[in-house]
Structure 1
Amino acid sequence: MQLTRYSDYALRVLIYLAARGDRLCAISEIAAAYSISQNHLMKVLHDLGKAGYVASVRGRAGGYRLGRPAGTIRVGELLRHTEGDDCLVGCEGCALAGGCGVLPVLNEAMDAFFAVLDSYTVADLVERKPGFQRLILSLGIATPRAGAA
């Protein structure tokens, strides 16, 4: 399965925010760290906020942080949110629909794919490899902005 850019950005945002703990991060900071368009990132952050993955604080010293602990955000759950869990192929209009053995196999593969992703949290991704959190922190501004909580 190939993930959409939207899902890629959503996962990157959560990893970035998890690495920074409770510090507020600006859209411009996250966008610069990953060389991502701020416009695309705004859409992703808005959606993640509506779903409770991130929390936003408005105002001059505002920004984004995780909406819940990184250890409670399952990667599979996030990708079901951003990608959906539809079947890999559409069988509508196929002459073999109903008698084909491909669909059950693909459904089983999709279930296995999400089962593996459900076994990991965003915290696991940040802590998985030694030095990864330092690498993430080096991508952006590592010190809090003035006035940020």
Structure 2
Amino acid sequence: MNLTSFTDYGLRMLMRMASAPDRAFSTADLAEEFQLSRNHLAKIMQRLAQGGIVETRRGVNGGAFLRRSPAEIQLGDVVQLLEQGQSLVECFRPDGGACTIAGCCRLKARLQTAERRFIEELNNSTLADISLPQQVAV
């Protein structure tokens, strides 16, 4: 399975935020720390806010905060949120893609099971399990 950079960067952001869950993080600070595009991180932060993982506030004391304890945020749920709209294979797309063997394929059900188990396995871990150590976090 190949996760998108959107998900990779989102997980990095959350790992950093979990290292100091009471602190507000700006996308500018996170972009500088990880040497990534601020615009790209802002889109990721927006998705995380829409999914109820983070809360964003504007103003002097603004930034993004985790909405729940890192121990309450399951990794599979985060990956599922960030990978929303990304199909593992073409036939998983809402329109079914252009697969020519859809009527006789014996692979699709196995891939669906594998994808479901992947998310279930990730849900055995929480953001607290992967948070960056305080001394590593800048």
Q: TM-score, normalised by structure 1?
A: 0.79
Instruction: Choose from 107, 114, 118 the match for 1:113.
Output: 118
Q: What is the SS of the residue equivalent to 2:134?
A: helix
Structure 2 letter corresponding to 1:103: K
Tell me, which stretches of 5 or more residues in structure 2 are unaligned?
none
Shift of 1:15: 0.8
- Which structure 2 residues correspond to residues 1-149 of structure 1 after superposition, within 5 A? 1-84=1-84, 88-91=88-91, 92=96, 93-126=98-131, 132-137=132-137, 140=138
Q: What is the SS of the residue equivalent to 1:134?
A: coil
Shift of 1:44: 1.0
Shift of 1:47: 1.7
Shift of 1:87: 5.3
Q: Which has the larger radius of gyration?
A: 1
CA contact (8 A) 1:17 1:65 kept: yes
Inter-partner Cα distance in structure 1 for 2:133 and 2:16? 9
Inter-partner Cα distance in structure 2 for 1:19 and 1:32? 17
Shift of 1:124: 1.1
Change (3 A) 1:21 1:95: closer
Shift of 1:41: 0.9
CA contact (8 A) 1:19 1:136 kept: no
Between 89-98 and 72-81, report the one with greater CA deviation. Answer: 89-98
Change (3 A) 1:87 1:26: closer
After superposition, the CA RMSD in angstroms is 1.9
Tell me, which stretches of 5 or more residues in structure 1 are unaligned?
127-131, 141-149
Inter-partner Cα distance in structure 2 for 1:24 and 1:16? 11
Inter-partner Cα distance in structure 2 for 1:88 and 1:134? 35
> Which residue of structure 2 aligns with residue 129 of structure 1?
none
Inter-partner Cα distance in structure 2 for 1:44 and 1:86? 14
Change (3 A) 1:23 1:107: same
